[in-house]
Chains A and B, each alone.
Chain A
Amino acid sequence: MSTLCVPSQVPSVAEDCEQLRKAFAGWGTNEGLIISILGHRNAAQRKLIRQVYAETYGEDLLKVLDKELTSDFERVVKLWTLDPAERDAFLANEAIKKWTSSNKVLVEIACARSPKELLLAREAYHACFKRSLEEDVAYHTSGDFRKLLVPLVSSYRYGGDDVNLTLAKTEAKLLHQKISEKAYSCDDIIRILTTRSKAQINATLNQYKNEFGSDINKNLKADPKDEFLALLRATIKCLVCPEQYFAKVLRLSINKLGTEEGALTRVVATRAEVDMKVIKDAYQKRSSVPLEQAIAKDTSGDYEKMLLTLIGHGPE
């Protein structure tokens, strides 16, 4: 459920472009105007705005934003303005270039998007970086991480609801067996998580809980420092309950001494039009504080305004 608020009477694209142009004109930038326009347009509208802006003024809107804005505000507006596929390609490339084993962005992109969206992201990656996503991931990662991440980003899962319950039971048993043997990066675990459809995985994990009494992620916590296990847990969460995953990312990023803006920006920009409403609910349930309050407390200025706008609480 999207939290984006698009006005019922949307100005024409030409008007939006003109207003944006005015926002950049002269000394300084009218950030409020930018937020009030871009923060209230959906992906299709933003795409049109970019197109018309380029046709009318001969400049790529993104480049202008780059020039005119700074710091966290710039990043959230830039990520927001990008078309979802390009955004994912951009985030993936960033994650690959600054690869650390605690980086979960690739898992988010591979698992919390629909199979079609992942495909579009891979296409956008070709266009932007002249290489395939999987070749870069394969090249920059190694060992168990590569073993998990390459098939994950290359997957094109069946997107339907068909589920085979017998298979789910068998694979739940298999997962349990391998986990008890601590064979976390074995072929079978990787195969199941990287090729089965989301519906099938969900059925398998339900069987797992029915048969063995606990959530699979509880059994993957043997070593809190093991980053591969953390990635495995993230994979599973993103596949079957992304809103829980993202609510947790938000909790961890806002509660630290000094907010981890990178994660906050990324989650808001990538989920505002997808499932931010359920993420907010999950957030509030767990931290007893509404998300907008936490954001308002820990961030400031135009950055704060943009975030609040995207989650549906901006200034009117």
Chain B
Amino acid sequence: MAASDDVESLARAFSGVGVDEQALISVLGKWHPEQRQHFRKATRDFFVEDERQFERWNDRHILQLRHEFLRLKDAIVAWTMHPWERDARLLKEALYKGPQYNVLIEIACTRSSEELLGARRAYHSLFHHSIEEDVAFHVHTPEKELLVAVLSSYRYEGPKVDEETAKLEAKTLSDVIGKKGLNKEDEDVVIRILSTRSKLHLKAIYKHYKAITGNYLDEDIEGDSRLKETVQCLCTPEKYFSQVLDASLRYNADEISKEALSRVIVTRADADMKQIKEEYHGKYGVSLGKKIEEVANGNYRDFLLTLIARSGE
């Protein structure tokens, strides 16, 4: 009966990321009270049977709905923001809400030297502290050193690379990473290399590492995921981003993973979205646009699709 299709499409309008505003208007808006009641009884996970004989919204679901409705607004505000302010706010949130240290790494390592500098400046203006002082003060886990170091970097961005040094450093890394349990000195070496060398130099190290050991540097790093992410963001950012996108588009993704969808698309739409799309398609066998269409709803979906279409097919 048409009603059950409607119920289904409405349930769908509320699941995934974003909300299908059209469905909500065209279906929900037309329903009589009995139809709405039928909907409440039919969707068990949105509503619970209250002891006083009425179907009550599941509180958790209302919270979730709030996130879903806000997704478009947040994406648009982020999109219109100056990239420096956007990154500064992302850094602050990543440090204090969560915390999500992977986002700190993401911003510190995938932005250009000037972009990272700009974010640090904006951070001064917005929060009256430097990002490095806040991270140094608030992070108490061993990853602190790595985080402060990559956030403080102002990497050389020119074309010159010293291949000999890159080879040597690749060898050093292969010796250190192979060991069981890194001691302080080993960690220092890894952090020194990853947080100070230019990206081209690091890509050369990545290449030499493969030649020496037969494996990829990030794949050899077990356990310490911050270190792994750092290497990925510095040497193979498209791979990193397509992984994050995949996690955000999964059926059972949590709120933090879902937020990554907006973050990655808004921050990379004008940067390396083309390469990210290619990498995603190659790795997961479906185009990013197709997957977004499947999982996202309404205006939010359209906004995302518009953003990724900027970088061509």
A interface residues (Cβ-Cβ under 8 A, vs B): 119, 122-123, 126, 130-135, 138-139, 146, 150-151, 154-160, 162, 187, 191, 194-197
Contacts and interface: CB of A to CB of B under 8 A. Distances in A.
A139 B193 CA distance: 9
A139 B129 CA distance: 29
Given A150-B149, A150-B196, A191-B136, A135 B156 contact: yes
Contact of A132 (B117, B148, B155): B155
B156 A126 contact: yes
A196 B130 CA distance: 8
A155 B152 contact: yes
A150 B154 CA distance: 12
B35 to A, nearest CB: 58
Main secondary structure, interface of B, reads helix
B102 interface: no
Contacts of A134: 152-154, 195-196
A160 B128 contact: yes
B120 interface: yes
Interface residues of B, number: 28
A132 B129 contact: no
B170 to A, nearest CB: 15
A151 B144 CA distance: 13
Interface in B113-133: 117, 120-121, 124, 128-130, 132-133
B245 to A, nearest CB: 31
B198 interface: yes
Interface string B20-56: 0000000000000000000000000000000000000
A119 B117 contact: yes
A191 B156 contact: no
A160 B130 contact: no
Contacts of B149: 150-151, 154
B192 A154 contact: no
A150 B128 CA distance: 23
A191 B137 contact: yes
B180 to A, nearest CB: 24
A131 B154 contact: no
Contacts of B117: 119, 156
Nearest to B148: A151
14 contacts: A126-B156, A126-B157, A132-B154, A132-B198, A134-B153, A135-B155, A135-B196, A156-B132, A157-B130, A160-B124, A191-B148, A194-B132, A197-B129, A197-B130
Nearest to B192: A138
B156 A130 contact: yes
Contacts of B154: 119, 122-123, 126, 132-134, 154
Name which of B137, B144, B157 has the most chain A CB atoms within 10 A of its CB: B137
Contacts of A135: 155-156, 196-198
Tell me if A's interface is mostly helix, strand, loop or mixed: helix
Given A130-B158, A134-B153, A151-B148, 11 more contacts: A123-B154, A126-B156, A126-B158, A131-B160, A132-B156, A134-B152, A150-B192, A151-B149, A158-B130, A195-B130, A197-B133
Nearest to B130: A158
Contact of B148 (A126, A130, A195): A195
Contact of B128 (A123, A154, A162): A162
A155 B130 contact: yes
Most buried by A among B121, B136, B153, B188: B136
Residue of B157, B188, B196 contacting most chain A CB atoms (<10 Å): B196
Nearest to A167: B137
Nearest to B189: A138
A139 B132 CA distance: 21
**What are the nearest 7 A-B pairs in CB distance?**
A135-B196, A195-B133, A154-B152, A130-B160, A191-B136, A138-B192, A132-B156
Nearest to B155: A132
Contacts of B130: 155-158, 195, 197
A241 B133 CA distance: 21
B152 A158 contact: no
Interface in B134-161: 136-137, 144, 148-149, 152-158, 160
Interface string B156-200: 111010000000000000000000000000001000100111100
Interface string B230-248: 0000000000000000000
Given A130-B158, A132-B155, A134-B152, A195 B197 contact: no
Nearest to B140: A187
B162 to A, nearest CB: 8
A159 B123 CA distance: 12
A134 B197 CA distance: 9
